[in-house]
Amino acid sequence: MEKRYRLNNGRAIRLVEGDITRIAADAIANAANSALAGGGGVDGAIHRAGGAEIMRELDEMRPRVGRVPAGQAVATGAGRLPAQYVFHAVGPVYRDGRHGEPEALASCYRVCLEMAEERGCRTVSFPAISTGVYGYPAEEAARIALREVRGFLESRAAGVQEVIFVQFGEAAYRVYERLLGESGLKEAQD
Ligand code: AR6
């Protein structure tokens, strides 16, 4: 399943159901943890598909960067993934939405987009950060992700041309599809 939505300035938001490790993009965002230690979910999938090189890079930078707070991210190469970079973003653990979770989640998307911009990336893919093990309600998280990405794509002059939301499973895909449908963005026919 896949849909593409066009912004007035020609940039695009793509919505795809599937495995983020199989979808080509200049940069792939990962839902990592503060220790950059790898784990399950999309993080596990990215390390498995990308190969040991990604963890080697994280091992090297860990003493220097220490624990990465929620809302921040670090960049590595992408190993065997169909990408040049992986941005390891640390999402917030959801408690009740009143402990800075919305701000931290919004920051994940913004920081990754800035990192993409700095590196000259044209396409960036995102999983639904924090909505697995970290327990963020899917629709609340999707609203934040869409607001941040759309705001960025509408306000910036150059660089990132397309953001790909890769949703794992039909239920997650449908949440984005509904919110994008309500957003007034036009579905692209190309
Ligand atoms: N492609 C795209 N999305 C995926 C994939 C995949 N291959 N696999 C899972 N998802 P989670 P979090 C979706 O738990 O909540 C890890 O152990 C999944 O359905 O991966 O931010 C880290 O090391 C869900 O919607 O990340 C951290 O310790 C979304 O990705 C912790 O989990 C995020 O689920 C981070 O938890």
Closest CA to 137 of 87, 75, 71, 92: 92
pLDDT value of position 189: 78
pLDDT at 157 over 90: no
Closest CA to 81 of 25, 129, 32: 25
- Domain locations in the chain? 2-187
Q: Place domain 2-187 in its CATH homologous superfamily.
A: Leucine Aminopeptidase, subunit E, domain 1 (3.40.220.10)
Mean pLDDT of the chain: 97
- Distance between CA atoms of residues 23 and 75, nearest Å: 18
Ligand 1 neighbours by CB, cut-off 6 Å: 19-21, 31-33, 38-43, 45, 91, 127-134, 166, 168, 172
Active site residue 96: no
Dihedral sign for Cα 72, 20, 39, 58, please: negative
- Rounded to two decimals, the pTM is 0.98
